[in-house]
Amino acid sequence: MADLPYATCPYNKEHRIWKLRMPSHIMKCSKSYKGPPLAICKYNATHRVPPSAMEDHLEECSDKQLFHSYEIGQIAL
Ligand SMILES: [Zn+2]
Ligand SMILES: [Zn+2]
């Protein structure tokens, strides 16, 4: 239940998007988005959070671990 392949669109909480479709959805949705600008997470380009909340987001980003293990994997090769 916790690992459904769906995520909530950062631009509209009403949008439940299949994770694999999120990058293209975000491209479309960001064009019609009228709210305050959102900053892009450096661990996952589909994470958009208000710039003031980015520091907290990076601390607890679900892709942080993934990002680092990928880096370590590259070094090990
Ligand atoms: Zn959307
Ligand atoms: Zn993130």
Structural domain contains residue 1: no
In this structure, is residue 56 part of a structural domain? yes
Q: Which residues surround ligand 1, an ion (CB under 5 A)?
A: 9, 11-12, 15, 29
Range 56-64 average pLDDT: 92
Return the closest-CA partner of residue 10 out of 65, 68, 76, 61: 61
In this structure, is the dihedral angle defined by the CA atoms of residues 53, 71, 4 and 17, taken in order, positive or negative?
positive
Within-domain flag for 37 = yes
Q: How many domains does the chain have?
A: 1
Q: Do the Cβ atoms of 47 and 69 come closer than 8 Å?
A: no
Is residue 19 assigned to a domain? yes
* 62 — pLDDT class (breaks 50, 70, 90): confident
On whether residue 41 sits in a domain, the answer given is: yes
Q: Is the model's pTM score more than 0.75?
A: no
Give the domain extent around 10. 6-76
* Separation of alpha carbons 41 and 48, rounded Å: 6
Ligand 1 mean position, distance from CA 63 (Å): 20
| Dist. CA 13 → ligand 1 center (Å) | 8
Whole-number pLDDT of residue 66? 72
CA–centroid distance, residue 23 to ligand 1 (Å): 10
User: Rounded to an integer, what distance in angstroms lies between the CA atom of residue 15 and that of residue 8?
Assistant: 6
